[in-house]
A = this chain, B = another copy of it.
């Protein structure tokens, strides 16, 4: 039998129904330390967004750690016992790419303001306000900070819109065979490459992991390098952009607008109320504010459950063969 202990994760009841009979599946709440201490020693597989030295010490037979999120910033890789594989979740990349393109159109076309005005009988754009022309994505440049699964799905769609794409990524040499027509692909660790991307982009999109390389990557200096007409999209993690610097860049019109899906403050519990920043982003009219939902689609749920059950069932089958 293969023992799987899920510490974090949603859709776990559905996951259970997809697992082979040889898999013993248990769910342990992350804050129940006695249950955790009881379950971890016999776990072959752990599903958790958090992993630290204390958890590592409790494991005996761990072979696979599944992070049920894209971001592994709360996994201490140095705590992973030797021979333990770490996998992070897939399935959200299509959802997030759609969100990004939709958000870019929403900002350019001022959907929020145009809709609100027309409901009052005001025609802000179009024939009846012909000097108030709108922008297009066609011909614009889009700079991707991060070129993993999400960045690549964004690029596919951006190219169909006639945008010019460039990117920075931790491992540019991995992508030499890509069918995408990137203007360039530079190392994310190269300070000047990030500066160049910031200055070149009409739309700058953060779609990278949060790590020491990306924490605070976008600060007042980099927002200052951007075009005043440019927009910033963050679907990665809030703290990739320095909170105060992003707020001030938007408030002072140093950049034109932003679509922010990832934040600085989160509710402690589901459905609790909480403003997403200590700065009043909610008073700005050049921001599309969404509640960390860009990847939270039915399609993602389907793909993620299919992927996670396959990973676990394959692991169990291999373990059975090895016994």
Q: A115-B288, A291-B124, A292-B126 are in contact. Are A160 and B162 (CB under 8 A)?
A: no
Cα A119 to Cα B161 with chains together (Å): 30
| A123 touching B296 in the complex, CB below 8 Å, given contacts A102-B101, A161-B157 | no
How many identical subunits does the complex contain? Answer: 2
Interface size grouping (class) on chain A: 35 or more
Determine how close the nearest CB of chain B comes to the CB of A22; give it in whole angstroms: 29
CB <8 Å contact, A126 and B274: no
Which of A78-86, A133-141, A196-204, A312-320 contacts the other chain? A133-141
A111 near B102 (CB under 8 angstroms)? yes
Which residue of chain B has the shortest Cβ distance to A160 in the bound complex? B160
Q: CB of A299 within 8 A of chain B?
A: yes
A270 to B130, CA, bound (A): 8
Pick the contact of A136: B95, B123, B161, B288 (CB < 8 A).
B95
Assuming the contacts A127-B10, A299-B138, asked whether A119 and B282 have C-beta atoms less than 8 A apart, the reply is yes
Per the 8 Å Cβ criterion, residues 253-290 of A in contact with B are 266-267, 270-276, 282, 288-290
Q: A118 within 8 Å of B by Cβ? A: yes
B299 near A122 (CB under 8 angstroms)?
Answer: no
- CB of B106 within 8 A of CB of A297, answer no
**What 0/1 pattern do residues 111 to 123 of A give for CB contact below 8 A with B?**
1101101111111
Residues of chain B with a CB closer than 8 A to A122's CB: 273, 291
Q: Can you list 12 pairs linking A and B with CB atoms under 8 Å apart?
A: A95-B134, A102-B106, A103-B111, A122-B273, A123-B271, A124-B293, A126-B296, A128-B272, A129-B270, A129-B271, A156-B160, A159-B160
